[in-house]
Amino acid sequence: MFDGMAVINFMGMTISNKYTQSLITLVLFFIIAKTIAYIMEKYILNITSKTKTDVDDILVKKTHIPISLLLFFLGVKLAIIPLELTTKTNTTAQRIVSTVATLLLAYILIVVFDIIIASWIHGTAKRKSKEVDENLMKLSTKTSRILLMIIGILLILNLWDIKVSGILASLGIVGIAVAFGLQNTLGNVFGGVSLLMDRSIKVGDIIKIDKDTAGSVIDVGLRATKIKTWDNELIIIPNGKLAGNNIKNYVLPDPKARIVVPFSVAYGSNVNDVKKVIMKEINKLDNLDEGNDSIVMFLEMANSSLNFKAFVWLKSYKDRFTTKEKLNCMIYNALNNNGFNIPFPQMDVWVKEISHGHRKRPKKSKRVISKKSKKKLPEDMEDLS
């Protein structure tokens, strides 16, 4: 026990040497810290492993070392007392140790809150039979970490006798000025929060924002969202812009997707026979959605062709592109094999000859086939190309 003369009674022996007292205190708390860590790792972890939830297991695994370190630094704080340092040196040493202990405590709280938040979100998703919202979990953990770090910094400043109230007042004034200067950044942050809360997009979704921007979402941050395109390019879009645009999400409301395959046959073809042949090809696909009926529709009598569209429902949006390419090949082969002509653009050119002022009867020239114009991919194929 410490007294005013810096004398300690240890196991019946009176020890007056201040360095010996500090060393004994330090060694004692080191042993206590190691013992606590051993007990938590060997015995408490064994007990928690038998419970239904794994939250307590994770808590013990991630906090037993920081807790033991916290106990050790408590011993360091007490070991400084017998050294009878000068007031200034003692105060500085105590503040340094207290700062380290505060950082350790903040780390422990951050770990605990991360585990609790993750457990709560996973539990909620399980009860509602939904997928875990990774974006919401990231936002919640980031927010809790920032708040705990701010509290830790304020406590450390208070330990060093730095007036927090003055700093907070100054930060309030500066914050107003910064808010005007960072309107776009703040807009992006609030846009990110709204996207996460609305759950309109999440990591892994396939989205299209405009004609040139489509791909897979790989990260939704507070400031920006990252999208990987089909060409393996990374596009970073500010959340403020994303929140203000129309977003086509191929994953929502469910994985089912419909593809549209246009095709044409020549005039004179039997429309009903065409529909039967193509439906037979569609039914050969092994990834059709049984909850929705696929259909072939005759939609237009164009200048040189009878135009059809096959509307095909698939089980998953992931099969859109590959199935569309496969079905195009099947339709082309089926039309050829069943004797249906596939038309192409063509025109007749008539040449009027005039000789010596006398008109001659118009003479039909040889038929000239127009050059094939560059065809644009159908819009829904462009989306996944």
Q: Answer with the one of 232, 249, 266 that is the final residue of a domain.
A: 249
Q: Cβ distance 294 to 324 under 8 Å?
A: no
Looking at the domain assignment, is residue 135 inside a domain? yes
- C-alpha distances (whole Å) from 298 to each of 267, 275, 281, 321 are 13, 8, 16, 23
Cis peptide before 362 (omega within 30 of 0): no
Q: Cβ distance 294 to 314 under 8 Å?
A: no
Is the pLDDT at 270 greater than 80, yes or no?
A: yes
Same domain, yes or no: 155 and 12: yes
Same domain, yes or no: 175 and 208: no
Closest CA to 296 of 271, 323, 266: 271
Same domain, yes or no: 208 and 324: no
Same domain, yes or no: 270 and 148: no
Looking at the domain assignment, is residue 330 inside a domain? yes
Is the pLDDT at 268 greater than 50, yes or no?
A: yes
Question: Which pLDDT belongs to residue 41?
Answer: 83
pTM metric for this prediction: 0.52
Question: Which pLDDT belongs to residue 154?
Answer: 86
Looking at the domain assignment, is residue 129 inside a domain? yes
Same domain, yes or no: 106 and 137: yes
Range of weakest confidence among 61-65, 238-242, 249-253, 345-349: 345-349
Structure tokens of 182?
Answer: 């960072």
Is the pLDDT at 359 greater than 80, yes or no?
A: no
Return the CATH number at 230: 2.30.30.60
Same domain, yes or no: 14 and 153: yes
SS3 for 289-329 is CCCCCCEEEEEEECCCCEEEEEEEEECCHHHHHHHHHHHHH
Same domain, yes or no: 172 and 198: no
Looking at the domain assignment, is residue 384 inside a domain? no
Same domain, yes or no: 91 and 206: no
Q: Cβ distance 208 to 257 under 8 Å?
A: no
Looking at the domain assignment, is residue 353 inside a domain? no
Same domain, yes or no: 158 and 25: yes
Range of weakest confidence among 155-159, 197-201, 205-209: 197-201
Question: Which pLDDT belongs to residue 239?
Answer: 82
Q: Which amino acid is at 117?
A: I
Range of weakest confidence among 260-269, 282-291, 348-357: 348-357
Question: Which pLDDT belongs to residue 285?
Answer: 94
Higher pLDDT, residue 175 or 69: 69
Is the pLDDT at 100 greater than 70, yes or no?
A: yes
Same domain, yes or no: 129 and 208: no
Closest CA to 384 of 229, 255, 242, 263: 229
Looking at the domain assignment, is residue 73 inside a domain? yes
Helices 87-127/55-80 angle, 10° precision: 170
Same domain, yes or no: 311 and 239: no
Q: Answer with the one of 205, 229, 249 that is the final residue of a domain.
A: 249
Q: Cβ distance 62 to 101 under 8 Å?
A: no
Q: What are phi and psi of 366, to 5 degrees?
A: -70, 145
Looking at the domain assignment, is residue 376 inside a domain? no
In the chain, the N- to C-terminal Cα span, in Å, equals 78
Same domain, yes or no: 98 and 234: no
Question: Which pLDDT belongs to residue 128?
Answer: 64
Looking at the domain assignment, is residue 311 inside a domain? yes
Is the pLDDT at 14 greater than 60, yes or no?
A: no
Question: Which pLDDT belongs to residue 372?
Answer: 45
Q: Cα(224)–Cα(240) distance, rounded to whole angstroms? A: 8
Return the CATH number at 294: 3.30.70.100
Based on the structure, what is the number of domains in the chain?
Answer: 3
Closest CA to 266 of 311, 303, 297, 310: 303
Domain hosting 152: range is 8-179
